Amino acid sequence: MTGTNSKKGRVVIVSGPSGVGKSTICKEILKKLDYVSLSISVTTRPKSEAEIDGQDYWFISEEDFRERIEKGLLLEYAEVFGHMYGTPKDKVDEELRAGKVVILEIDVQGAIKARVVFPDAAMVFILPPSAKDLAERLNNRGREAGDVAEERLNGASAEIAAAWQYYQHMVINEDLQQAVNECVQIIEKTGTET
């Protein structure tokens, strides 16, 4: 597996329940910190209309995904809500070698695996201000059908419960800019730790 000690870069893991606003927060962080890059995952999930291949995810077939696992090309991978998601290893390694802070926006299962590879990784979990708020955001997002949205909402409580055990940083996304600023502070602090 990929080593970390010789690398100048740092990994920051960002997780949170579906609909909490992780992607928006990560995109805002990128605008504020030029030394941060966001890992683009591969997934077997179908692309929604609003998404762009190679920007939001690399959308690939199950066969392609299996091949990447066999060839050891994924840093971590997990099945989330019936689809496979994984972090491409080569790109993360490249960015770390260039001294970047690389954000992995991944689920809790994947985060636990990534933490084994990168023990120094900062782990940030984004929380909604309330369960009701999360339900509203998921429904308003309109990306998934009602039953899928419900499955994701049900999964949120288990993920939040696990998060208290594994994550050092919990950030509540009530006000977007405040949540972004908190994440920026965490990253800046992470960058200066040895």
Contact residues for ligand 5GP, defined by CB under 6 A:
15, 18, 41, 45, 76-78, 80, 85-87, 105-107, 109-110
In this complex, which beta carbon is closest to ligand 5GP, that of residue 15 or of residue 190?
15
Q: How far is the CB of 192 from ligand 5GP (least distance, A)?
A: 26
In this complex, which beta carbon is closest to ligand 5GP, that of residue 4 or of residue 115?
115
Angle at 102 between CA 5 and CA 51, to 5 degrees: 150
User: Tokens 């909604």 label which residue?
Assistant: 128
In this complex, which beta carbon is closest to ligand 5GP, that of residue 1 or of residue 8?
1
Nearest one of 19, 28, 56 to 184, comparing CA atoms: 28
CA distance 169 to 103: 14
In this complex, which beta carbon is closest to ligand 5GP, that of residue 87 or of residue 173?
87
Instruction: Identify the three-state secondary structure at position 102.
Output: strand
- Which whole-number Å values give the CA distances from 192 to 9, 50, 101, 102, 157, in the listed order? 11, 37, 11, 15, 33
CA distance 27 to 20: 14
In this complex, which beta carbon is closest to ligand 5GP, that of residue 72 or of residue 192?
72
In this complex, which beta carbon is closest to ligand 5GP, that of residue 107 or of residue 182?
107
Q: How far is the CB of 107 from ligand 5GP (least distance, A)?
A: 4
Token pair in block for residue 140: 């308003």
Q: How far is the CB of 59 from ligand 5GP (least distance, A)?
A: 11
What DSSP string describes 126-184?
A: EE-S-HHHHHHHHHHH--S-HHHHHHHHHHHHHHHHHHHHH-SEEEE-SSHHHHHHHHH
